[in-house]
Structure 1
Amino acid sequence: MTKISILGNGRVGGSLATALNRAGHDVTVADRSPGAAADAARSAHVVINATPGEGSLERLVALREELRGKILVDVSNATVDGPDGLPVDLLHHGSSLAEQLQRALPDTLVVKTLNTMLYSVMTAPATLSQPATVFLSGEDRSAKEIVRGLLVDLGWREEWITDLGGVETARATEAAVLFVPHVIRARGFAPFAISVVS
């Protein structure tokens, strides 16, 4: 059992909390208010960032002391959204939210994952018609192994998990969010994810 705090109580945070709780973890969900987030981060071993990506960096940097020595699982994408609310560009050109977080929080172990799919797939990958791929990016190998275990608890099989390497690889997976509006317009709002086949 891992003590997990999820920052963000929207659809992403709520579904992750339900699934991880069901898997036997001790899960706390905090809204975006500074006091609630600080309390939640302070008490956890693993903190999941499920807040909107455009405000995540400022919000999490304010929790520098509470996040010291913790694993920070970043599932958000920092984007510029169009009038329809769908992403049209990335906020951090030539970088990524995960890289910005790791740079600003050097004493925190940032791991990027679960950001290349619609939120419903995060906790139910087996509902897709074909196996999807979930990626890991981060500097600390042991932190990534802990997050890998959490992914397995969410229903991801080992062979569906690909470790891409260091945190700089998150800029590639974050860029994948730019597929989303086009896929939705072409195929409708249905669960989907990226799948790497060989």
Structure 2
Amino acid sequence: MRIGILGSGQVGQALARGYGRHGHDVVVGTRQAAVGDLAVARPEDAVRGADLVVLAVRGDAAVELVGSLAGPLDGTVLVDATNPLDASAGAPRLFVGHTDSLGEQVQRAAPGARVVKAYNTVGNALMVDPQLPGGPPTMFIGGDDEAAKATVAGLLRDTGWDVVDLGGIEASRWLEPMCMAWVAHGVRTGTWGHAFRLLRPEV
């Protein structure tokens, strides 16, 4: 699969290298001239022709970037890995929530994209091939396009995840606060190698 990664930070690099290990053709969309040994291109070029695109930028940059690429993203599976985090006052907090979400704002910014919320409830070190005691952790996803969610779920399972579908893109209203629970545990314990798992009778 050809995958475009929008963002060259820690999340984007972790996903790009992880997908590459699984044989996917990955290009990082960035304005930087180089990002280590990764293939890079301008964001608009990384999106064109991609089977799947991952949005892996700061939450406060997500909507503007997606809006600028709305045309090229039309019809594309767009995985939204962002969180609406605001750390300007010290401890991080969400800058949107409860009646709206960043995931929904991303979908509205590119109405033709097939947005799936994923990867926002775990640290970048575990995003591909997580190895934890007790079996694979659970990646919670949400989105309005069933075929797009099936594509993302397949990619997740192939890269070591259990997957739980929480419904439409409005599920981002619950997934984004889950990030705060993940952060709170990390702050209290000083460790960051944790992930969620949903225990259910059918698994």
Structure 1 residue 162, shift from structure 2 partner: 0.3
- Give the Cα separation in 2 of the matches to 1:93 and 1:197: 25
Pick from 17, 37, 52 the counterpart of residue 58 of structure 2. 52
CA distance in 2 between counterparts of 1:46 and 1:56 reads 17
| Structure 2 unaligned spans of 5+ | 33-40
CA offsets per residue over residues 145-190 of structure 1, 9 Å max, x none? 111111122221xxx2101111111110011122234212211132
Summarize the Cα distance change of 1:166–1:142 in structure 2 as closer, same or farther, 3 Å threshold: same
Question: Is the CA contact 2:18–2:128 (under 8 Å) kept in the aligned structure 1?
Answer: yes
Matches within 5 A, 1:1-198: 2-31=1-30, 36-82=42-88, 84=90, 87-92=92-97, 94-125=99-130, 127-130=131-134, 131-156=136-161, 160-198=162-200
- Counterpart Cα distance in 1 of 2:71 and 2:138: 33
Closer/same/farther in 2, CA of residues 93 and 32 from structure 1, 3 Å limit: farther
Superposition deviation, residue 54 in structure 1: 1.3
Tell me if structure 2 keeps the 8 A contact 1:32–1:51: no
Q: Deviations over 1:45-95 (max 9, x none)?
A: 2110011111100111010111011110011101211455x5223335521
Give the distance between the partners of 1:88 and 1:175, measured in 2 at CA: 9
SS of equivalent to 2:164? strand
Specify every segment of 5 or more residues in structure 1 that has no aligned partner in the other structure, as ranges: none
Determine what percentage of the aligned residue pairs are the same residue. Answer: 38
TM normalised by structure 2 equals 0.87
Q: Tell me the alpha carbon deviations over residues 101-151 of structure 1, each in whole angstroms, 9 at most, x when there is no partner.
A: 1122221100011111111111132x2223421111001111111111111
Aligned partners of 2:182 and 2:195 also within 8 Å: no
Segment of structure 1 superposing worse, 35-44 or 70-79: 35-44
In 2: Cα distance, 1:136 partner to 1:93 partner: 17
Q: Distance between the aligned counterparts of 1:182 and 1:109, measured in 2?
A: 31
Alpha carbon RMSD of aligned pairs, Å? 1.8
**Offset of residue 5 of structure 1:** 0.3
Q: Letter of the aligned partner of 2:190 in structure 1?
A: G
8 Å contact kept, 1:80–1:91:
no
Give the counterpart letter for 1:47 in structure 2: V
TM-score (norm 1): 0.89
Q: How many residues align?
A: 191
